[in-house]
Structure 1
Amino acid sequence: MNCQQAQHFLDQLQLFKIKLGLDSMQHFLARLGDPQRLLRCVHIAGTNGKGSVGAALHAMLTAAGYKTGFYTSPHLSSVRERFQISGTYISKEDFARLISRIESVLDGRQITYFECTTALALLWFAEQQTDFAVLEVGMGGRLDATNVVTPLVSVITNVSMDHEQHLGDTLAKIAAEKAGIIKPAVPVVSAIAEDESGRVIRETCAERQAPLYLFGRDFSGSGAGSLWQYQGLDGLKLTDLPMPLRGGHQISNCSLALAAVQLLQRQGWAISEAQIRSGLAQTRWPGRLEYFRSEGRQFLLDGAHNPAGAAALREVLCSEFPRQRLILVWGAMADKDINAALREVAPLADRIILTKAADSERAASPEQLAAVLPEASQAKVICAASIPAALDQARAMAAEDDLICVSGSLYLIGAARELLLGGLTDAEE
C-alpha cells in the first residue's frame, strides 16, 4: 500500500458515522498489541484551546530534548499533519505502512476515521519509542477514541457549547463528557469557569482523588503583546516569557501548558527554565489567529467555528489589528451554531464574502449563512461559489492597509491556507 492508497482507505472510513464508545477501540488496540500501554501521555480535552495547549507543551518538551509525539485533529490540508514527533510530521512511507498494518489487523471489521487515525498515532509513537505523547481529544472525552490511555497529567482547557448533538445541550452535560478523561489519582490542570461546568470538573476530581490545579487559583498568567508573566505552582514566577500565539486567551492556554510541565517536573522529568523559554518561542499553531502578508495583502486565518471561538476572534480584531477596512471571508458547517458564531464577528466587517467551507453535504451554503445575518449585515454580503473565488474577490477589493480575515470552519481555513501559503507537509514530501 502506498501513501495514496492509504489515504483512499482512510477516506472510505468517513462513510461510517461518528461513533462514541471505547469497547471496539480497546479490542482493536489489543489486536495491535496495546501500543497505548507503552506511552507516557499528557491527555488534553476542552471545547477551545486544546491545540494551542498541545502545541506549546509539544514545543517545550521537544526543546527539553525529549522525543515528543503530538496527535491533534482536525488537520488543515493533509491528514499527515495530525501526527508529529518533535516537530516533524509522519513520513508518507510510515503513514502508508501503518495504515496497511491497521487494515490487515481489521480484516474487514468496521472502524471509524478517528479511531483509525488514533490507532495510527499510538502505534507510531510506541514504535518510535517517544518519551512523551501529547494527545488531543477529538470530541468530548469520556467516549473519545483517545480515552484509552492513563496519562501522567490530564488537561481540561474549558467548557462551552459545541457538538451539542453528541455531547449534550447544557454546560453540565458537556463538562461530564470532558471529565471522562479524569483518571484516579492523575493530576488535572484546567482553566474551567466558575459555573456549572466547573462544578462538574471539581466534583469528578474529588470523586477520583485526582489533584486539581486551577488557572486563577493555583497558577496564573498575565501580560499583553509579545511578553507575559507566569505565576506558577510551588511559588514559581517567570517574567518576560515569549508569547508567539496571538490573542489574550493564549495566556491561559500557555499557562495550562506550563502547569502541565511543572507537574511533569514533580514526577522527576528535567525541564529547565531556558528550555521552557526556548519551547514557548518556537510554538506554532497554524490556522489559528495566523497573520501573514501575501501578494501585498494582509491576511488573518482563524478557525473560529463555535461561539466561544468567534468571541475570541472578535476580541482580537478589536484590540490587535489596526486596519482601514475588514473584509471577512466566512464558511461554516451546517451542523455548527452558524448563527451565533457569524453574528459575533459580522458587525466588525466592512464587506462579508460567504462561501461553502467544503465540498460536503455538511457544509452550509452561502445562502444559508446569509439568512442568519441581520438586515444591516446582509447589505454587506457577497456570495462566492467556491473558496478560490472568495479569495480572489477579497484580494480584488482589498487595499494594502485592509485586513482580509478568513474564518469559520477549519475546512475553509485549511483550503484557504493551502491556496495562499501551500500545505504544511509540503516541505517534507
Structure 2
Amino acid sequence: MSELQTWLERLEQLHPVEIELGLSRVAEVARRLGVQKPAPRVITVGGTNGKGSCVAVMEALLCAGGHRVAAYTSPHLLRFNERVRIDGREVDDVALVQAFEAVERVRGEISLTYFEFSTLAALWLFQRAGVEYALLEVGLGGRLDAVNLVDADLAIITSVAVDHEAWLGSDREAIGREKAGILRPASPFVCADPEPPLSVVSSASSQGARSYFINRDFALSDGSYRFGDLRVEIPPISLPPNSIAAAITGVALLDGLPACSLESVLRGICLPGRCQQLHWRGRSLLLDVGHNPAAAQYLAGWLAANPVEGTNHALLAAMADKDLSGLVAPLAPLVDRWQLALLPENDRAAGCTELRAALEGVGIAAQAIEPRCEPVAEGFELALSALGERDRLLVFGSFFTVAGVLQYIRDRSDGESG
C-alpha cells in the first residue's frame, strides 16, 4: 500500500461523520496554516450540475493564456490526485503526502472531515506553488462548504436544481440560498442558470455583487457565445454549454482570456465522465456521472441530439438517497434495454429492488429490464453482451458507477478504447 493510500484511509477515520457542514473548524486550521488566500485571484464555482465542466474550461483558458493555474475539484473517478491540479497536471503522491503532513502538524485537537482535510492540503499546495489563479469547486452547497473559507474574487453558480435535500433544503429557493453563500460584496458574480431562484438574485443584490446573468448579460444560442464585443463559436464538445459560457465570462471579467483562438482551446477539452464517448471491444459507450433529475434531463437531450443507428441500452447503478424515479424518467423514452447494477462496497447504494421499482414506476416495461442484477463490473459485461454493433450503451447514475466501468476498461484494455 502506498503512503498516499495510507493517508487517505486514515482521513476516512479521523472524523466521526463523513459530512459536517460548517466553517469554524476548517477556518481555524486554515488560519494556523496561513492559507486563507492561496492565490492572488480565487474563483469559487458552485452549482448543482456543471461545476467540474466550468472549472475545466477556465483551467484550459487560463493555461492557454500563459497563467499559472491551480484547480481543486471533487469527487475523483480513479485517483485522488485528479482532485488537485497545478498548471493542468495532477499533483503527485509525494506532494500530497507533504501537504497532509503540513495540515496534521497544525490541526492539533481539531477534528476534520475527509473533504476538509483535502481542501486544506490543496490550498497549502497552491500557495507554495505560487499560482496566479486558484479555481475551487464547491463540494456541497456553498455557504458552509470548506472551500468557502476563502474569499472569492469571482463567484460562479452553474445551475440550481434539487439534490442533497437532507443538507441543502427541499426546493430550489432554499438550495439557491445555500449556493449563493459563496458570493462576496462588490466582487463579480456569474450565474449560468437561465431561471435562477429569487434567493440567488436577492443574495447578489444584497451583497452588492457585480452580477452577470446568462440571457441578460451574456448569451449562448445555436453554439454562438456573446458577451459585450466578445464572440466565440462553441465547438461540439461534450460539456454543458451553459457551464462553458459561464467559464468564458468569468475568465473575461478577470482579463485572463488567451490571445489565441478560444475555439481551438475549447476543442481540446475532454472531461472524463461527462458525456464521455468511448469505443471498446467494437462497441459504443457513453459514460456520464449524472445522478439527479436535472442531469438526467440534460443527458436525455444529448442522446436525442446525438442518435445512433441502432438502439440505446443503459447500465444504471445509483445511490438510494437520490430521486431514482426522477433520475430515470427523462431517459425512459430513449432507452430500449436496461441493465441494473449494484455498488456493494457503498453503503448508500440502491439495491436491485429499489432500482427496478423506480424503472417500473415510470412505466418502463418489465421485459425491457434485464432480469439479472449484478455488481457494476459483471453488469457491464452483461450489458455489453446484449449490445449490437450499431447500438450504444449509456453508463450513468453515480460517479461510482462510471468509475467502476472506467477502472474495468483500464484493467482489461485491449487497445480498442479511445
Q: How many Å separate the matches in 1 of 2:117 and 2:285? A: 34
Output the TM-score relative to the length of structure 1.
Answer: 0.90
* Equivalent pair of 2:341/2:376 in contact (CA under 8 Å): yes
Aligned to 2:238: 245
Aligned to 1:377: 365
Q: How many Å separate the matches in 2 of 1:305 and 1:76? A: 14
Q: How many Å separate the matches in 1 of 2:92 and 2:261? A: 27
Q: Once the two structures are superposed, what CA deviation does each residue of 1:342-395 show, in whole Å capped at 9, x if it has no partner?
A: 222234222111112351110001221101222543322224321110111011
Q: Once the two structures are superposed, what CA deviation does each residue of 1:180-233 show, in whole Å capped at 9, x if it has no partner?
A: 0110001111123436x1x2222111111111111111111222xxxx321113
Q: How many Å separate the matches in 2 of 1:126 and 1:276? A: 28
Instruction: State the AA in 2 paired with 1:237.
Output: R
* Equivalent pair of 2:15/2:111 in contact (CA under 8 Å): no
Q: How many Å separate the matches in 1 of 2:332 and 2:309? A: 16
Which segment is superposed worse, 398-407 or 105-114? Answer: 105-114
- The answer on 1:260 being equivalent to 2:259 is no
Q: Once the two structures are superposed, what CA deviation does each residue of 1:395-417 show, in whole Å capped at 9, x if it has no partner?
A: 11111111011000111111111
Q: How many Å separate the matches in 2 of 1:272 and 1:111? A: 39
Instruction: State the AA in 1 paired with 2:367.
Output: A
Which segment is superposed worse, 374-383 or 114-123? Answer: 374-383
- The answer on 1:231 being equivalent to 2:219 is no
Q: How many Å separate the matches in 2 of 1:105 and 1:318? A: 52
Q: Once the two structures are superposed, what CA deviation does each residue of 1:120-140 show, in whole Å capped at 9, x if it has no partner?
A: 111111111111111110111
* Equivalent pair of 2:66/2:258 in contact (CA under 8 Å): no
Percent identical across equivalent pairs?
32
Aligned to 2:20: 19
Instruction: State the AA in 2 paired with 1:308.
Output: A
Q: How many Å separate the matches in 1 of 2:207 and 2:60? A: 30
Aligned to 2:385: 396
* Equivalent pair of 1:63/1:278 in contact (CA under 8 Å): no
Offset of 1:38 from its aligned partner? 4.2
- The answer on 1:169 being equivalent to 2:164 is no
SS of the residue corresponding to residue 373 of structure 1 reads: helix
Superposition RMSD on alpha carbons, in Å?
1.9
Q: How many Å separate the matches in 2 of 1:358 and 1:285? A: 26
Q: How many Å separate the matches in 2 of 1:104 and 1:190? A: 39
Q: Once the two structures are superposed, what CA deviation does each residue of 1:311-369 show, in whole Å capped at 9, x if it has no partner?
A: 11111111113231211000101111112102222342221111123511100012211
Residues 23 and 109 (structure 1 numbering): CA distance in 2 closer, same or farther, change over 3 Å?
closer
SS of the residue corresponding to residue 36 of structure 1 reads: coil
Q: Tell me the matched-pair count.
A: 408
Aligned to 2:299: 313
Output the TM-score relative to the length of structure 2.
Answer: 0.93
Q: How many Å separate the matches in 1 of 2:33 and 2:82? A: 23
Residues 377 and 303 (structure 1 numbering): CA distance in 2 closer, same or farther, change over 3 Å?
farther
For structure 1, the 5+ residue unaligned runs are: 424-429
Residues 278 and 13 (structure 1 numbering): CA distance in 2 closer, same or farther, change over 3 Å?
farther
Q: How many Å separate the matches in 2 of 1:336 and 1:129? A: 40
* Equivalent pair of 1:334/1:362 in contact (CA under 8 Å): yes
Aligned to 1:426: none
Q: How many Å separate the matches in 2 of 1:54 and 1:422? A: 28
Instruction: State the AA in 1 paired with 2:124.
Output: L
Offset of 1:36 from its aligned partner? 3.0
Residues 219 and 261 (structure 1 numbering): CA distance in 2 closer, same or farther, change over 3 Å?
same
SS of the residue corresponding to residue 288 of structure 1 reads: coil
SS of the residue corresponding to residue 348 of structure 1 reads: coil
Q: How many Å separate the matches in 2 of 1:72 and 1:378? A: 39
Residues 24 and 393 (structure 1 numbering): CA distance in 2 closer, same or farther, change over 3 Å?
same
* Equivalent pair of 2:315/2:396 in contact (CA under 8 Å): yes
Aligned ranges for residues 3-152 of structure 1 at < 5 Å? 3-13=4-14, 16-107=17-108, 109-152=110-153
Aligned ranges for residues 346-361 of structure 1 at < 5 Å? 346-357=332-343, 359-361=345-347
SS of the residue corresponding to residue 352 of structure 1 reads: strand
Q: Once the two structures are superposed, what CA deviation does each residue of 1:168-188 show, in whole Å capped at 9, x if it has no partner?
A: 112111010001011000111
Offset of 1:14 from its aligned partner? 7.1
| The one of 404, 408, 411 aligned to 2:397 | 408
Residues 14 and 365 (structure 1 numbering): CA distance in 2 closer, same or farther, change over 3 Å?
farther
Offset of 1:13 from its aligned partner? 4.3
Aligned to 2:290: 304
For structure 2, the 5+ residue unaligned runs are: 413-418
SS of the residue corresponding to residue 365 of structure 2 reads: helix
* Equivalent pair of 1:70/1:83 in contact (CA under 8 Å): yes
